[in-house]
Structure 1
Amino acid sequence: MTAPHSDTPPEHNHVIVIGGGHVGLSFALLLAHQGIYSTLLETVKYPTIAPDQDRERQSYLDSRNTALSRRSVQIYHEIGLWDELDSHACRIDKVLISELGSFGRATLDKQAENVESFGFVMENAWLGRVLLQAVKASPYIRLHDNTQVTTISQDDDMAHVTTISQDDDTGNGNIQLSAPLVVACDGQHSPARHMLGIGADSHDYGQVGIVGVVETDTPHKHVAIEKFSPAGPLAVLPLPDSADGKYRRSVVFICPKGDEHAYLHDDAHFLATLQQVFGTDAGQFVQAGRRGTYPLTKVLAHRQVVGRCVLMGNAAHTLHPVAGQGFNLCLRDAYALAKLLGENLQNAKSGKFGMTTPDFGNQARLLGYEQSRQTDQKRVIKFCDTIVGSFTSTNPVMKVARNVGLITFDKIPFIKPMVATYAMGLKS
């Protein structure tokens, strides 16, 4: 990627991205890979990270993690980031699936499915660090952190965003930015979604997710363990060993809302509960790190495109974390839109279809993007809802049925490859 740095991107070759979380950072980098300039706006002030800082894990029990599908790994590889990300990732070779206290059990094994792996578990802190450093180094991206978006408007030719810097010493005040397209990746509660007048359906699962890292006395052997309980799905995922060789696992523990405090502040109770739930499948749980919590809510925007503005990431769809599908779905959305805009730019450069300048905010093209993503999005949403609904039911008939289903899934040959392909994000 070579391009002169410019404080003023070309008017027509420009996208404003609102929200600098992992989805927003990734989308800006995907645009840059297509030769498209962007201005990235983030409310939070990013920490200052030197290029050689924190290359080693400073606290091996203090991190949140994301399960990246095979397709997500391919996307990061395509834009030249995977080699650096890989140093803090751990592949998943096998998945053990069962229900707490029941007979049903199933296994997904990479050798049986003839795949390199089912994906990787990535430390969020490292993912964010690599993405942020790449954004700061890109000549195609202007980054404004500690900056709040106050208004969004649009006309026939441009979308307009008014911002205010939170830095006391800048003296910039309100600044209006304009571009042919605005993409909002500003989270589940998306202020941009409200500014655009887009409604959303919300469902509170009445559950809280507890996430963190634990140490076990045996190596993980690249095995992920999924255990379903009446409270919700529970998971222990493999992580790279610590610098001194200790065995680390990422934990996703879901409990009814209100019960989370007992697991947050009492390490012994948390470890004993994990041991009771997972038995000896993961060995002995010997140490727990700091845990974080988040209430589980499904949020689905009524629309993802309005005029020259697009919703992306959790602003468009926030899902239950079961099976770790949410971020991977968002990344596939980002890839699809960046690819579409890149084709538009190339057509304009070559004069194809009589184009001389790209129009990234073309209504028909954006609506086409929205429609093209419906199959993948609806499939993932239905998959997550089905699992959550089936395994949280206490009906004895349902319990027998889902355990028979696990055994059937484990024994019938053609089902596993289909489910594995969907889970890896390779069919969208």
Structure 2
Amino acid sequence: MQQEVIIVGGGMVGLSLALMLAKTNIAVKLLEAIKYPNYDDENLAPYHSSFDARNSALSRRSVQIYQELGLWNALQEHATPILEVNITEQGSFGKARLKAEQEKVESFGQVIENAWLGRVLLTQVKKEPLIELIDGVQVTSLTQDTDFAYIEAHRGESELKLQSKLVIAADGRDSFCRKALGIGASEHDYDQVAIVTTVQTSKPHGHVGFERFSHLGPLALLPLPGEYRRSVVWPVKKGTEGEWLGEENDQHFLDALQETYGDRAGKFQKTGKRFSFSLSQVLAEKQAVGRVVLMGNAAHTIHPVAGQGFNLCMRDAHVLVRYLKEQQAQGSDLGDAAILLDYEKSRLSDQQRVIKFCDSVVRGFSNQNPFLKLMRNTGLVAFDTIPGIKPLVANYAMGLKA
């Protein structure tokens, strides 16, 4: 009898994981709280709560995973490779540069708008006979015993009662499943809000990504499809976001970008609608309890400063599927608690390294103490000049040394 896995949460991680499992011949029931949009126009990708205005910088490892799933050709149409990364601090001497050609790689990764990533994933999920997709469903209870995990939910007027040997909770930062199981989580509020949008510049992006640390916050400018389109992610102090949002502030926002970046991108000519997202770090105290395993932001939500959050989740998912594939090949229980704990243990090193790095960058570059400013700029110069450092950092950033 084929075992069926229940995934709670149909965002980018949940959809990707469902496709990985189906490719391994494991049946999936995928539950998503929000109704998905209708994709009537093939040239549009409407926003969904999980596929919004944000962008994802897919690492080379994430690209490889989508290649294994046979999805990369469809995704590539909406993605742009990063061939160079420049890291600088406004008003300081330190700078560092990574070039794909020098590191002998095709690219450092690919930037894709989440709305398009979500559309491609959802379209493929709907074609997959091993995946049953149920959207607009609210989970109200999650319990488990030695044999099964049990879910109660409602969809409109209908009540659902489901059971499975394994439940994967990918239901976001404020995970209902995590709370239902009594799993605690540590939370750190960065007191920042990320301003996210797309801009048009007078100079072509040349497939170069910029990370510019400013007194307002760490500003990321990444290339998008279209020679002059770039994505902006700008974490600013919470409470100041009002001055950046709304059409009436378009020019004010463009002027601030110009002042922060100078003429590297030419003139900032046009901005799209800006959206804001609060930033915090949320780390679950456990990621596997009995027959339930946490995945995605339910397990670890981190700061977007280095674009590592989604890529870390993809590596988690890929490793979990490898464990489940071995269980299935042996005809063993997919929800075996010992196996899930082994999975969790196997991922801690990679997770802790990425979490610590992202948190350190945010804290380190947020402090305007002159001595610390000197130290970090000296560090950028050292990174740019000392042999052997760039390949090591590049491999970690690309997800190839997890």
TM range, normalised to the smaller chain? over 0.9
Does the 8 Å CA contact 1:213/1:250 hold for their aligned counterparts?
A: yes
Q: Which residue is equivalent to 1:412?
A: 386
Q: 1:285 aligns with which of 255, 268, 271?
A: 268
Establish whether residue 37 from structure 1 lines up as the match of residue 27 from structure 2: yes
Cα offset, 1:176, TM superposition? 0.9
Contact 1:207–1:231 (8 Å) recurs in 2: no
Confirm or deny: 8 A CA contact 2:82 2:107 kept in the other structure.
yes
State the partner residue of 2:103.
113
- Rounded Cα–Cα distance in structure 2 between residues aligned with 1:329 and 1:65: 15
Q: Deviations over 1:75-125 (max 9, x none)?
A: 000011010000000000000100011000110001111111000000111
CA distance, structure 2, for counterparts of residue 100 and residue 343 of structure 1 = 50
Q: CA RMSD in A?
A: 1.4
Task: Determine whether 1:205 maps to 2:179.
Answer: no
What is the distance in 1 between the residues matched to 2:377 and 2:87?
A: 11
**Counterpart mapping for 1:92-241 below 5 A:** 92-166=82-156, 171=157, 173-241=158-226
1:23-34 to structure 2, matched below 5 A, reads 23-34=13-24
Measure, in 1, the Cα distance between the counterparts of 2:14 and 2:344.
Answer: 18
Q: Which residue of 2 aligns with 1:399?
A: 373
Q: What is the one-letter code of the residue matched to 1:344?
A: Q
Select the residue among 352, 362, 372 that pairs with 2:346.
Answer: 372
Match of 2:397 in 1: 423
**C-alpha deviation, 1:229, in angstroms:** 2.1
Q: Does 1:254 align with 2:235?
A: yes
Aligned counterparts of 1:131 and 1:393: Cα–Cα separation in 2: 40
Distance in 2 separating the partners of 1:369 and 1:56: 38
Q: Which amino acid aligns with 1:363?
A: A
Q: Is the aligned partner of 1:314 residue 2:297?
A: yes
Matched residue SS, 2:222: strand
Q: Deviations over 1:306-333 (max 9, x none)?
A: 1000111000000000110001101111
Gaps of 5+ in 1: 1-9, 349-357
Aligned-pair distance for 1:23?
0.6
Shift of 1:49: 1.9
Q: Deviations over 1:279-299 (max 9, x none)?
A: 111111000001111111000
TM-score (norm 1): 0.90
Post-superposition Cα deviations, 1:396-416, rounded to whole Å, max 9, x if no partner, equal 110000000000000011110
Shift of 1:56: 5.9
Taking the aligned partners of 1:212 and 1:328, their CA distance within structure 2 comes to 21
Secondary structure at 1:44 match in 2? coil
Q: Who wins on radius of gyration, i.e. which is larger?
A: 1
SS in 2 for 1:366: helix
Relative to structure 1, the CA distance from residue 43 to residue 56 in structure 2 (aligned partners, 3 Å threshold; closer, same or farther) is closer
Partners of 1:55 and 1:99 lie apart in 2 by 38
SS of the residue 1:111 aligns to? coil
Rounded to whole Å, the distance in 2 between the matches of 1:158 and 1:254 is: 43
- Unaligned runs of at least 5 residues, structure 2: none
Which amino acid in the other structure matches residue 88 of structure 1? H
Q: Which residue of 2 aligns with 1:3?
A: none
Residue pair 1:318, 1:326 contacting (<8 A) in 2 also: yes
Letter in 1 for 2:243: A
Question: Any conservation in 1 of the 2:30–2:133 contact (CA below 8 Å)?
Answer: yes
Identity percentage of aligned residues:
54
Judged with a 3 Å threshold, the aligned counterparts in structure 2 of structure 1 residues 137 and 194 are, in CA distance, closer, same or farther, namely same
Partner residue in 2 for 1:360: 334
Q: In structure 1, how many angstroms separate the alpha carbons of the residues matched to 2:160 and 2:62?
A: 35
Does the Cα contact within 8 Å between 1:64 and 1:213 map onto a contact in 2?
A: no
Confirm or deny that 1:382 pairs with 2:356: yes
Q: Distance in 1 between matches of 2:400 and 2:181?
A: 33
* Aligned counterparts of 2:21 and 2:78: Cα–Cα separation in 1: 25
Which SS does the other structure have where 1:373 is aligned?
helix
- Partner SS for 2:244: helix
- Note if 1:330 corresponds to 2:313: yes
Do the aligned partners of 2:186 and 2:282 also contact (CA within 8 Å) in 1?
yes
SS of match in other structure, 2:333: coil
User: Secondary structure of 1:198's match?
Assistant: coil
**Deviations 1:112-162 (Å, cap 9, x if unpaired)?**
111110000001111000110111110110110000111011111111111
Matched, 1:55 2:43: yes
Q: Equivalent residue of 1:39, what SS?
A: strand
1:63 deviates by: 4.0
Deviation at 1:340, TM superposition (A): 1.2
Distance, in Å, in 2 between the alignment partners of 1:263 and 1:67 is: 23
Give the total of aligned pairs. 396
- Kindly provide the amino acid, as one letter, of the partner of residue 374 in structure 1: L
